[in-house]
Amino acid sequence: MDPVSILFGGLASGMVLFIVSVGLSVTMGLMGFVNLAHGGFAMLGGYVIVLAMKHWGFAFLPALALAFLAVALFSVVLERLLYARLYRATELDQVLFTIGLVFVMTAVVTLGIGPETQVIDLPEWLRGQTDLGFFSYRTYSLVLIAVGTALMIGLWLGFERTRFGARIRAAVDNRRMAQSLGVDVGRLFAVTFAIGSGLAAVGGGLGAEILGLDPNYPLRYLVYFLIVVSVGGLGRVAGVFAAALLIGVLDFVLKFYFPKGGTIFIYVLTLVLLLWRPGGLFGRRGA
Amino acid sequence: MSSGTQLAQRHRFRWWELLPWAAGIAAFFVFPNYLSFATQVLITILFALSLDLVLGYAGIVTLGHAAFFGAGAYTVGMLAMHLGWNEPISGLLAAALVAASIGLVSGIVLLRTHGLTLLMLTLCTMTLLEQAANMGAAWTGGFDGMPGLSFSKILGLFGFDTLYFRSQYLYALVTLLLCFAVVRMLVYSSFGQSLTGVRENLLRMHAVGAPVRTRQVLVYTVSAALAGVAGALFTQANGYVNLAVLGLERSAGVMIVLILGGHGRLYGAFVGAIVYMVLEHALAKAYPTAWQLGLGLTLVAVALFARKGVIGLVDSVRRRLPGAAR
Amino acid sequence: MSAAMLETRSLCKNFGALEVAREINFRLERGARHALIGPNGAGKTTFINLLTGVLSPSRGEVLLEGENVTRLAQAKRVKRGIARTFQINQLFRGLTVQENVCIAVSERLGVGGSMLRPAGKRADVIREASRLIAMLKLGEDAERLVAELPYGRQRLVEIAIALGLNPRVLLLDEPAAGIPSAESHILLEAIATLPEEIAVLIIEHDMDLVFRFAERITVLVSGAIFAEGTPAEIAANREVRSVYLGSALDG
């Protein structure tokens, strides 16, 4: 594989990480809640798509939409019923709760569907190669890169230009002040959580080709999602984007050239970055 | 009640504190065929005890404690395999030293941060060690680890019994007793009290002039040493070491054990390890997915309703009994 | 002029464009009984935070008996002799009153880091803690968890902790707030029996307490010193009256 292909492969990987992790970054920045179960929503999204396409005759895009809606709805129910009770709890309790939740999700999927890796049949227009003139590459990966970039721009605009986005930014920066200014923090949490989880679901489905899809998905990629989120800076869309691409490309490159254990550099890099900037590359100065 | 009674009495031995050790000795005679399993339980108790110092008392949330367990385990393994150094007791000490050194350095560097950042950094440190162990196959045996290690007789008298684990069990029991004595002493000392202060109200501790960072690094180092001893016991008792001694599964596992038993309570590690491992032994192999589901639901329930674990539940029941003392 | 016990020179603090402390030149003399008053939001607690090291100033210096402590962390300043109480109680809620005070006394006596002897065997620590507890009439609550106490009694624990540090400078941030008037005399007695050499600075809104306690009053408005003087001077100062005291002193 030539360097350009490797780069694009890494970028595609990174895009998947971004789409899944951006929701986690915002909700963690917003709610201050350590949600280790976020990968579970990505997994559930992937499985919804598999079910929809294989058993209910959905096409790819409608299945994506269904995954977004179904998981968003499910996550809101979880959030209102369970998560909300732990907003004031200690970090330890939140870690415990979300680890337990991941176990439950993993077990339910294993029991309900099975432990095998699931494959999503990509539609015709995503298969094959696209010729960009100077080189040709997998259509699927190119689309991923385009979608990820579009999503980043869309989210960034949403944060900077809409009132809803302004409310989120205000609440991330200073929750109590936002509350005293009349922001309905409870509803903000629920809606943001839903969108974040829905995006994760889409990411889980879109990325199934690259990251795979099986019941162990959430635990396997937990560390990566957390790295992307903490290195990028909580609540910073641009930060998550940069961190996701960085990790995605690095991981791809390292796995290619040093398959035996090159990924150690990612952990070293994360260590160094977080010690240098505890709040993330784009986050606040201190943690 | 005169002032000073409770505080002055807290460290005194109570008769029932002998029970776990009596039970431990009794188990040796009552369950001769389960001593291998029982030894694993003892090792887990020690590991959970070390985590309790850091998590339960000092309030430092870490997902990377397996780093020290693994450091101790691999130290003993590598000494045995490459230097032919298989004397057990000195192996324990060497493991404690190596683990403590890693704990000291990482503590000084990491404990400057808190919250998610600290969590991530502890995770990264551990994963780094895991990757290093994976890569350094010449030293560590890589993915397969180092099987078939043998160790010389303890004190020159008691040989390791790979079939029935008799010596291993008693060896682990004595080691646990000694380490527990250290932990108990720390917990009841002024140092231990100040850790509780750090956990309860960090700002206040600064405001009474306590050198908070120093205390945190100290307890982190001691805890690392104890975890290292637990890891060393693992390698010595089982005769092998592999990557499973490191990694998120082991870190999360010991955290679960501790929380289920009751963190911040001396005997939480005991209760948690025994309950968890007995249940796991009985259920997990037969019904792995159901076990995972049950465990997950239990964790969710504990986080929501019983965050103090089994000991916490027992406490709240006792408080409701008529005539209960505070 | 001899070195004041605690002094600030041109102390400034701003958060971005928001100035919360402006060129504060303040002196707290040895054995002072000094009160700091001002309207809400004047920056009084911020000033205490700057004095104790919770906040670092944007400009200016803090001097303790002539020694520049501006760069010292909070804990180190406590070791040098500055103790404070917080406006909102900062206690170890899951511990008993006795344990709370013992922690402070242990740190002061330098045994807070001792690992070998059980805390319960430190008779000197326990004795000193009991003395403070008795002084603040908390004896019967000594073995109770702080979280179980009514807020007013918790406030007294807050003060016991500060006293347990045996400070040279004692900064009390609204010590009477939350203490029911029936028990406020306990607080007054405790303050009245403080050793003469300790310099005491109180932030208070209770003017009764202020005028009974203070030998010197500083008025802080919008982060800057508005007026300073003896209680009589301040009471007579018309600008102060209009800005802050208002009808509180009439009649």
Residues 243-262 of B with CB under 8 A from A: 248, 252, 255-256, 259
Question: B256: closest CA among B226, B230, B276, B227?
Answer: B276
Q: Using the 8-state DSSP alphabet, how is residue B166 labeled?
A: H
Is B208–C104 a contact, with Cβ atoms under 8 angstroms apart? yes
Q: Which two tokens stand for residue B27?
A: 């188990």
Is B246 within 8 Å of A267 (Cβ atoms)? Answer: no
For A263, which of B110, B131, B255 is closest by C-beta distance?
B131
Return the minimum-mean-pLDDT range out of A39-43, A118-122, B48-52, B157-161.
B157-161
Chain B residue numbers touching A82 (CB-CB < 8 A): 300, 304
Which own/partner pairs from B158-162 qualify as long-range (CB within 8 Å, at least 24 positions apart)? B160/B88, B160/B236, B160/B237, B160/B239, B162/B239
Q: How far apart are CA C34 and CA C21, in angstroms?
A: 19
> What CATH code would you report for A3-122+132-276?
1.10.3470
Q: Which stretch, A187-201, B44-58, B82-96, C127-141, has highest mean pLDDT? A: B44-58
* Residues β-bridged to residue C63: C7, C68
CB count within 10 Å of CB B86 equals: 18
| B191:C113 CB<8 A | yes
Please give the mean pLDDT across all residues of chain B: 91
Specify whether the CB–CB gap between B110 and B271 falls below 8 A. no
CA B17 to chain centre: 19
How does DSSP assign C37-75, residue by residue? E--TTSSHHHHHHHHHTSS--SEEEEEETTEE-TT--HH
Whether residues B300 and A260 touch (CB distance < 8 A) is answered with: no
How far is C82 from C111, CA to CA, in rounded Å? Answer: 19
In angstroms, the separation between the Cα of residue B63 and the nearest Cα of chain A is 10
- Strands C199-203, C33-37: pairing is parallel
State the pLDDT confidence band at A284, using cuts at 50, 70 and 90.
Answer: low
B124 with A227: Cβ contact below 8 A: yes
B138 close contact with A: CB closer than 8 A = no
- Work out how many domains chain B is built from and give that number: 1
In angstroms, what CA-CA distances link B52 with B65, B156, B270, C36, C114? 11, 33, 11, 45, 19
Please report whether residue B258 resides in a domain.
no
Assigned domain for B72 exists: yes
Is pLDDT of C247 > 50? no
Q: Are A260 and B134 inside 8 Å of each other by CB?
A: yes
pLDDT, position C250: 47
Q: Which structural domains are found in chain C, ordered by start?
A: 1-81+167-251 (3.40.50.300), 91-165 (no CATH)
- Residue B99 CA to residue B247 CA, distance in Å, equals 16
Q: Do the chains contact at B215 and C113, CB–CB below 8 Å?
A: yes
Interface residue C1 vs chain B (CB under 8 A): no
For residue C116, list chain B residues with Cβ-Cβ distance below 8 A: 185, 189
- Enumerate residues 98 to 137 of chain B having a beta carbon within 8 A of any beta carbon in chain A: 109-110, 112-121, 123-125, 127-128, 131-132, 134-135
User: Testing the interface with B: which of C84, C93, C107, C144 to mutate, by most B Cβ within 10 A?
Assistant: C107
Tally C-beta pairs within 8 A across B and C: 138
Instruction: Over range B285-299, report the average pLDDT.
Output: 92
Alpha carbons within 13 angstroms on the beta-carbon side of residue A233 total: 18
- Give the model's confidence band at B5: pLDDT under 50 very low, under 70 low, under 90 confident, else very high: low
pLDDT of residue A286: 46
- Give yes or no for residue C249 having a pLDDT over 70: no
B267 pLDDT band, cuts 50/70/90, is very high
List of chain B residues whose C-beta atoms are within 8 Å of the C-beta of residue C48: none
Instruction: Give B92: exposed, middle or buried? Use CB within 10 Å, 0-12, 13-18, 19+.
Output: buried
Alpha-carbon distance of B86 to B93, in angstroms, equals 12
Cβ-based contacts of B124 with chain A (< 8 Å): 227, 267, 270-271, 274
Give CA–CA dist B170/B39, Å, rounded: 8
C 24-53: CB under 8 A from B: 52
ipTM above 0.85, yes or no: yes
**Which pLDDT belongs to residue B200?**
93
Q: A touches which chains (3+ CB pairs under 8 A)?
A: B
**pLDDT exceeds 90 at position C216:** yes
Q: Is the pLDDT reported for residue A249 higher than 50?
A: yes
The DSSP element (H or E) to which C84 belongs, if any, is strand C82-85
Angle, helix B190-200 to helix B166-188, in steps of 10 degrees: 80
Which pLDDT score, from 0 to 100, does residue C185 have?
A: 81
The single-letter code of the amino acid at B292 is Q
- Per-residue pLDDT band at C171 (split at 50, 70, 90): very high
- Distance between CA atoms of B43 and C184, rounded to whole angstroms? 55
* Domain boundary assignment for chain A: 3-122+132-276
Residue A196: per-residue pLDDT:
93
Q: Do A111 and B289 touch (CB under 8 A)?
A: yes
What is the nearest CA distance from C119 to chain B, expressed in angstroms? 5
Identify which of B113, B263, B289 has the shortest CB distance to residue A278: B113
Residue C233: other Cβ atoms inside 10 A: 13
CA dist., res. C35 & res. C206, Å (int):
11
How far does CA A123 lie from the centroid of its chain?
A: 23
- Shortest CA distance to A210 belongs to which of A97, A78, A120? A120
Range(s) of the domain holding residue B161 = 19-24+32-246
CB C57 within 8 A of CB C70: yes
Asked whether the beta carbons of residue B11 and residue C84 sit closer than 8 angstroms, the reply is no
A128 by Cβ neighbours in 10 Å (0-12 / 13-18 / 19+) ranks as exposed
Better-scored residue on pLDDT, C205 or C202: C202
Mean pLDDT of A262-284: 85
Cα distance between residue C175 and residue A109, in whole Å: 58
pLDDT, residue C241, reads: 79
Instruction: Tell whether B319 is within 8 A of chain C (Cβ).
Output: no
Residue B2: band (very low, low, confident or very high) from pLDDT cuts 50, 70, 90: very low
When computed from its CA atoms, the radius of gyration of chain A, rounded to whole angstroms, is: 19
